[in-house]
Amino acid sequence: MRAVIALGDGTVDVVEAAKPTLGRDTDAIVRVTTAAICGTDLGLLREPGRLPRGTILGHEFVGEVQSVGSAVRGIRPGMRVVACDYTACGLCWWCREGAHWHCPERRFFGTGEAFGQTLPGGQAEYVRVPFADTVLAEIPDGVSDRDAVFLGDLVPTGWAALERAGLRHGETVVITGGGPVGQVASLVAQATGAGPVIISEPDAGRRDVAAALGATAVSPGEAVGVVHEITSGRGADVVIDGVGGAHGLDAALSLVRSRGRICSVGVPHTDRWDAPVREAFVREVTLSFAVGDAIRDRDRFTPLVTAGLLTPSAVISGSAPLAGARDLYARAAAMTELKAVIEL
């Protein structure tokens, strides 16, 4: 089969790789029909040594089930499915608590050992999916692959951030970063009852996308002034940090109101943040972090997509067949694509 692999130098290629086979009786083999390039893929490629040469990339994918292990009960061959971006057993204490990211059996598709033990990804013609009954979900009729591919990572990330921040109807939401995470978080906020939604983003093209998708789009230099104007000087009720690390968190603190809530979902690329703890204490700011969990939340957000109230495919800016993945990755890395998908 053909697959997109990391070359170990920050670039990718499309090569012939061994077709996966069932390894356990809880596995499924999925023939991939659409996969997406994620900012996490690009970030890991930029970090020397994070992705060994030959790593099959991709954790956002949908496809058709080809075969299942003898213990799989809810997933069957021929079913159109979307995968969560990581695996979980579905049985342990963490899974029963709805915290699948912390399952000891977690494997993150296509990211090498960056988040645990390695598991080949879904930017390939076929992918092996462990714990298929837990990790996979059937795609409802009428939901396109282009929308469904975002139900495993992007939509659950925005959903988890807003839920962790305790969003209430009518509240003002600011999102730092107009990349795919920020844009989809904005769509989720609008679909679930937020008041004004503001995206702070330095790139003018991405601000145009945010505005077209219903947000108030501002540059970082304008953000504090615009937010204070909208909120009569209070600041935002909720700030979603889609940037991560010190830069995103510092920006979030400047935008949130006293007793407001910040949730960070941007993957940090530094280990430390020199937090202004006295200011945060005096202002009673709540700070949290969240990782999306499609397994836990998909039964709540998928109906929004089925009903046409949430259209995550609106963030797609470019696509290519598998053979064009190398060029598509280059465009995504250069930020000339907002969100790129590979259609097999």
Q: What is the pLDDT of residues 79-123, one digit of tens each?
A: 999 999 999 999 999 999 999 999 999 999 999 999 999 999 999
Query: Going by DSSP bridges, is the β-strand pair 126-129/136-138 parallel, antiparallel, or unpaired?
Result: unpaired
Tell me the CATH number of domain 2-153+293-343, given options 1.10.10.10, 3.30.70.270, 3.40.50.880, 3.90.180.10: 3.90.180.10
Angle between helix 154-164 and 294-306 (nearest 10): 100
CB contact at 8 A, 129 and 137: no
Q: How many C-beta neighbours within 10 Å does residue 52 have?
A: 12
Please state, in angstroms and rounded to a whole number, the distance separating the CA atoms of residues 313 and 155.
10
Which letter does DSSP use for residue 313 in this model?
Answer: G
Residue 232 has what DSSP assignment?
A: T
Considering the entire predicted model, what is its pTM? Answer: 0.95
Contacts of 277 (CB under 8 A, 6+ apart): none
Residues 56 and 109 sit within 8 Å (Cβ to Cβ): no
In contact, 138 and 148? CB cutoff 8 Å: no
3 strand-pairing partners: 15, 124
Average pLDDT taken over every residue of the chain = 97
Six token digits for residue 44: 């890991």
Rounded CA gap, 335 and 179, in Å?
A: 9
Nearest alpha-carbon partner for 239 in 179, 170, 177, 155: 177
Handedness of CA 223, 229, 232, 238 (dihedral sign): negative
Say which residues have a Cβ less than 8 Å from residue 183's Cβ, sequence separation at least 6: 199, 206, 209, 210, 213, 314, 315, 338, 339
E-strand ranges in 17-79 read 28-36, 60-68
Confidence at 189, pLDDT banded by 50, 70, 90: very high
Q: How far apart are the first and last CA of the chain?
A: 12
Q: What pLDDT digit, counting tens, does each position of 291-320 carry?
A: 999 999 999 999 999 999 999 999 999 999
Distance CA 19, CA 25 (A): 18
Q: Locate 27 and state its tokens.
A: 């596995």
Quick one: pLDDT band at residue 269, thresholds 50, 70, 90? Answer: confident
Instruction: Report the CATH number of the 155-289 domain.
Output: 3.40.50.720
What's the pLDDT band for 49 if we cut at 50, 70, 90?
confident
Q: Where in the chain is the domain with CATH 3.40.50.720?
A: 155-289
Across residues 325-330, what is the average pLDDT? 97
CA torsion through residues 268, 160, 138, 28, sign: positive
Average pLDDT over residues 186-215: 98
Judge whether residue 326 has pLDDT over 90: yes
pLDDT of res. 267:
83
Token pair 């800016």 in the structure block, residue: 317
Residue 155 is given by DSSP the state H
Tokens of 270: 């530094």
Query: Token pair 């030959």 is at which residue?
Result: 54
Where along the chain do the CATH 3.90.180.10 domains lie?
2-153+293-343
CA distance 203 to 11: 24
Both tokens of residue 34?
């659409």
